[in-house]
Structure 1
Amino acid sequence: MAVTQSIVHFINRLNDSLCRLVSWLTLVMVIVTLLIVVLRYGFDIGWIAMQESVMYMHAMVFLLGCAHTLRVNEHVRVDIFYRGFSAQKQAKVDVFGTLLFLLPVNIFVLLISYNYVSMSWTLLESSQEAGGLPLVFLLKSLMLIFALLMLLQGIAELLMNIAKVKDASASSSGGDY
Structure 2
Amino acid sequence: MGFLVALMRFIDGLNQTIGKTVAWLAVIMVITQFSVVVLRYVFGFGSIMMQESVVYMHSFLFMIGAGYTLLHNGHVRVDVFYREASIHKKAVIDIFGVVFLLLPVCILIADSSWKYVYQSWSIMEGSVETSGIQALFILKSVILVFCFLLALQGIGLALRSFLILKGVVVPEEEHELHEVP
Scaled by the length of structure 1, the TM-score of the pair is 0.92
Question: Where does residue 118 of structure 1 map in the other structure?
Answer: 118
Q: In the alignment, what sits opposite 1:86?
A: 86
User: Is it true that 1:37 corresponds to 2:37 in the alignment?
Assistant: yes
Structure 1: any 5+ residue segments left out of the alignment? 169-177
Does 2:47 correspond to 1:47? Answer: yes
Distance in 1 separating the partners of 2:4 and 2:12: 12
1:68 aligns with 2:68: yes
What is the rounded CA distance, in whole Å, between the counterparts of 1:20 and 1:39 in structure 2? 30
Letter in 2 for 1:16: Q
For residue 83 of structure 1, give the secondary structure of its aligned residue in structure 2: coil
Task: Pick the structure with more helix per residue.
Answer: 1
**78-87 vs 50-59, greater mean Cα deviation:** 78-87
1:127 paired to 2:127: yes
Give unmatched runs, 5+ long, in structure 2: 169-181
For 1:16-35, what aligned pairs fall within 5 Å after superposition? 16-35=16-35
Code of the residue aligned with 1:153 in structure 2: it is Q
Q: Distance in 1 between matches of 2:10 and 2:165?
A: 21
Q: Output the amino acid matched with 2:67.
A: A
Superposition deviation, residue 13 in structure 1: 1.1
Aligned-partner SS, 2:74: coil
How far the C-alpha of 1:81 sits from its partner, in A, is 2.1
Counterpart code for 1:108: L
Cα displacement string for residues 45-102 of structure 1 (whole angstroms, at most 9, x for unaligned residues): 1011110000000000000111010001111110122111111011111111111100
Deviating 4+ runs (over 4 angstroms): none
**Counterpart of 1:175?**
none
State yes or no: 1:162 paired with 2:162. yes
Q: What is the aligned partner in structure 1 of residue 136 from structure 2?
A: 136
- 2:81, 2:156 → 1: CA distance? 24
RMSD: 1.0
Identity fraction in percent? 43
Q: Which is further off, 98-107 or 4-13? A: 4-13
**What one-letter code is carried by the residue in structure 2 that aligns with 1:67?**
G
Q: Tell me what 1:99 maps to.
A: 99
